[in-house]
Amino acid sequence: MTDNNRLRSAFLAKQNHLLAALEIVPDLTGHGTTIGDDSEANWARVLREFLPARYGIAKGQVIDSQGGISDQIDLLIYDAQYTPLLAKTANGDLFVPAEAVYAVFEVKQEMNRKFLEYAGKKIASVRELTRTSVNIAHAGGTYDPKPPIPILGGLLTTRSGWADLEGKAAVNALLELSGARRVDIGCALRGVSFNRIEEPPTSLPEYSEPDVTLMFFLIRLFGRLQKVGTVAAVDIDAYMNALDLNDAPVADS
């Protein structure tokens, strides 16, 4: 077996393992919350295993220095190297500064128009938050503030509600989501994955082959994360001001 075939076999084994995990809970219970939580946990595990440690993976909400807060997000990919996390709930959900976010994903059982639009709304609730940027110190002085990176948005599902995700109805549903509601990338494990790049000469999404949906999704996702580099440096003083920490009383020793 060639190295390429070994790599393909490894990805297919991972894909089949994820499918088995995602499909066992619906077979055992009809409880929507249980199904949703289990699906999110399995997708989070796959992303953690694939992505470098600099990328954190969590469920939670995104906040900004102006007091804005996003909808609850199924899966956040955030900067785990340079940006502090401001809070963590008892069940492990995070409150992540808007500056730290690389990507936002909604997790559902089926990819269809309703859930694409729902994912677009969730993604927009993050993209519309205020993001700060400050100078970055280095040995020779400082770098100018970096513009905030574009936040990726996606939808992760087990199956597709469309017979053909490359068909007119599915493509139109995807392309109708623009601006802050744009869905960039997605994976229907028992369908196909898509990557919406909209660069000349075409504005149409690219699609995976049906048997390598997970491999296509993970590689395209990592490529897009690589392309944007590192998130902008957060202005932590802006958060201190918003939380009135500068004027907080000092506890007696």
Query: Can you give the pLDDT of all 253 residues of the chain as single tens digits?
Result: 566 677 778 777 777 777 777 776 554 445 445 556 788 998 999 999 899 999 999 999 999 999 999 999 999 999 998 887 767 666 667 889 999 999 999 999 999 999 999 999 999 999 999 999 988 776 777 878 889 999 999 999 999 999 887 888 899 999 999 999 999 999 999 889 999 987 666 678 999 998 889 889 999 999 999 999 999 888 888 888 876 655 555 555 4
What pLDDT is stored for residue 28 in this prediction?
A: 47
- Alpha-carbon span 75 to 60, nearest angstrom: 7
> Is 251 a member of any domain?
no
The token pair that represents 196 in the structure block: 């919406």
> Is 135 a member of any domain?
yes
Q: Are 83 and 58 in contact (CB under 8 A)?
A: no
Catalytic residues: 74, 106, 108
> Is 249 a member of any domain?
no
> Is 24 a member of any domain?
yes
Closest CA to 165 of 204, 138, 126: 204
Q: pTM score, two decimals?
A: 0.85
> Is 33 a member of any domain?
yes
The token pair that represents 117 in the structure block: 């639009």
What pLDDT is stored for residue 244 in this prediction?
A: 66
Residue 133 structural domain: 3-242
- Alpha-carbon span 64 to 58, nearest angstrom: 17
> Is 123 a member of any domain?
yes
> Is 157 a member of any domain?
yes
> Is 30 a member of any domain?
yes
- Number of folded domains that form the chain: 1
